[in-house]
């Protein structure tokens, strides 16, 4: 079993890929695929993942839905809040 530098509930910074520069919270870890599922905290600047649905009895019109995104675990790093820098004059 692999061990990772992040875990479920951690706040992370995405440093590579389509969602580069975003800050997100890990909602799940997928160890078989070495991926983490992210939920972005700054929804205004990041669009969620999209998925198309076929027509079915449950969804007669089909369509596009929003979903959480997953990225490889190597593309995220633990996020630290920037310290308030007080200038003394």
Domains of the chain and any CATH numbers: 11-78 (2.30.30)
Structural contact between residues 11 and 23, judged by C-beta atoms closer than 8 angstroms: yes
Assess whether pLDDT exceeds 90 at residue 11.
Answer: yes
Q: How confident is the model at residue 21 (pLDDT cuts 50, 70, 90)?
A: confident
pLDDT digits (tens, 9 = 90+) for 37-55: 998 876 555 567 788 889 9
pTM value > 0.85: no
User: Average pLDDT, whole number, for the chain?
Assistant: 84
Q: Which of 36, 31, 33, 32 is nearest to 14 (CA)?
A: 36
Name 36's Cβ contacts closer than 8 Å, sequence gap at least 6: 4, 6, 12, 26, 28, 29, 30, 70, 71, 73, 76
């Amino acid at each position: 079993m692999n061990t990772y530098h992040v875990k479920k509930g951690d706040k992370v910074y995405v440093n590579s890929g389509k969602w580069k520069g975003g800050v997100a919270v890990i909602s799940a870890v997928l160890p078989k695929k070495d991926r983490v599922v992210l939920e972005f905290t700054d929804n205004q600047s990041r669009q969620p993942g999209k998925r198309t649905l076929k027509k079915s009895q449950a969804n007669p019109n089909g369509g596009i839905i929003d979903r959480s995104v997953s990225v490889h675990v190597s593309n995220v790093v633990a996020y630290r809040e920037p310290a308030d820098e007080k200038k003394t004059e």
